[in-house]
């Protein structure tokens, strides 16, 4: 075998190895009933997303500027075009190489935005949305996680009114995107810093901190559920020279 033939064979084998190492999965999604904030069936043309969390078991959720935040990635974004209001069906073939950090076992979650259309590049302030996931799966659904390489799974969200076991209220788009804004920091430089931010009543928030702009964010515990238009949390370990804070919505 001459040198050119050996080089060709080596290249062919390398390409074959790469093809074999390419991880793909198929997720078929079936959701009914998806509804608006006032309980009406979601109109045709509204937006439905399938999102994965690549870095932990929690979701950053949508923000006014983006459909996903933190370590979340949008796997599928599509209009509700089934021909039947409130009912959504879609399939997505995922190539892991197209989603850096995505891996089997990562949780996935459904979001729907009844008031948005395909032309909306971001949710915007005050947009209502609904969400759903189930770690183990109900009503014949597979677990709401990324399956293993080569798998084909179906993830279902079926409310009681459609013959499933999920409460109808889970199908309501009863969350609103309102960016939390830190209003004040008191006690800076002391062991007890009070962080106060703008909030929506009954919304749950998570406060995070980091020592500098180049470090990753760490959670403060516990999460805080607002009871008014503002919420506060005390960081009892903040006796440091410098600390940055941010507040996130917990879906």
Give the contacts of 180 (CB within 8 A, at least 6 positions apart). 197, 198, 199, 205, 247, 248, 249
The DSSP bridge pattern shows strands 128-132 and 108-113 to be antiparallel
Instruction: Note the Cα 60 to chain centre separation in Å.
Output: 6
Give yes or no for a contact between 95 and 23, defined as CB atoms under 8 angstroms apart.
yes
pLDDT at 71: 86
Distance CA(113)–CA(174), nearest Å, equals: 10
* pLDDT tens for each residue of the chain, 251 residues long: 554 444 444 443 443 344 444 579 999 999 999 999 999 999 999 999 999 999 877 888 888 888 998 889 999 999 999 899 999 999 999 999 999 899 999 999 999 999 999 889 999 888 999 999 999 999 999 999 999 989 999 999 999 999 999 999 999 999 888 778 899 999 877 888 999 998 877 788 899 999 999 999 999 999 999 888 899 999 987 667 788 999 988 86
| pLDDT score, position 219 | 93
182-250 CATH: 2.60.40
Give the pLDDT score at 180.
84
Cα separations (Å) of 248 from 54, 157, 219? Answer: 17, 26, 10
pTM of the predicted model, to two decimals?
Answer: 0.69
Both structure tokens of 67: 């459909």
Q: What is the pLDDT of residue 250?
A: 81
Asked if 225 and 204 count as a contact pair (C-beta separation under 8 A), the reply is: yes
Q: 82 — alpha (psi -120 to 50), left (phi > 0) or beta?
A: alpha
């Amino acid at each position: 075998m001459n040198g050119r033939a050996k080089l060709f064979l080596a290249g062919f084998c390398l390409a074959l190895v790469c093809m074999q190492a390419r991880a793909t999965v198929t997720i078929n999604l079936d959701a009914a009933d998806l509804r608006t904030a006032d309980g009406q069936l979601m109109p045709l043309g509204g937006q439905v997303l399938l999102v994965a969390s690549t870095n932990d078991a929690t979701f950053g959720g949508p923000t006014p500027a983006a459909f996903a935040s933190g370590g979340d990635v949008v796997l599928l974004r599509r209009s509700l075009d089934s021909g039947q209001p409130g009912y959504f069906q879609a399939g997505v073939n995922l190539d892991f190489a197209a989603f850096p950090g995505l891996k089997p076992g990562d949780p996935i979650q459904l979001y729907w935005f009844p008031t948005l259309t395909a032309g909306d590049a971001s949710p915007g302030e005050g947009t209502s949305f609904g969400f759903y996931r189930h770690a183990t799966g109900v009503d014949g659904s597979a677990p709401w996680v990324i399956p293993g390489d080569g798998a084909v799974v179906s993830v279902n969200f079926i409310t009681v009114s459609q013959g499933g076991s999920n409460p109808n209220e889970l199908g309501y788009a009863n969350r609103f995107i309102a960016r939390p804004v830190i209003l004040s920091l008191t006690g800076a430089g002391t062991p007890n810093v009070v962080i106060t931010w703008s909030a929506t009543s009954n919304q749950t928030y998570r406060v995070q901190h980091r020592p500098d702009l180049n470090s990753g964010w760490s959670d403060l515990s516990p999460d805080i559920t607002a009871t008014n238009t503002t919420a506060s949390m005390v960081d009892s370990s903040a006796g440091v020279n410098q600390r940055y804070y941010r507040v996130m919505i917990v879906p």
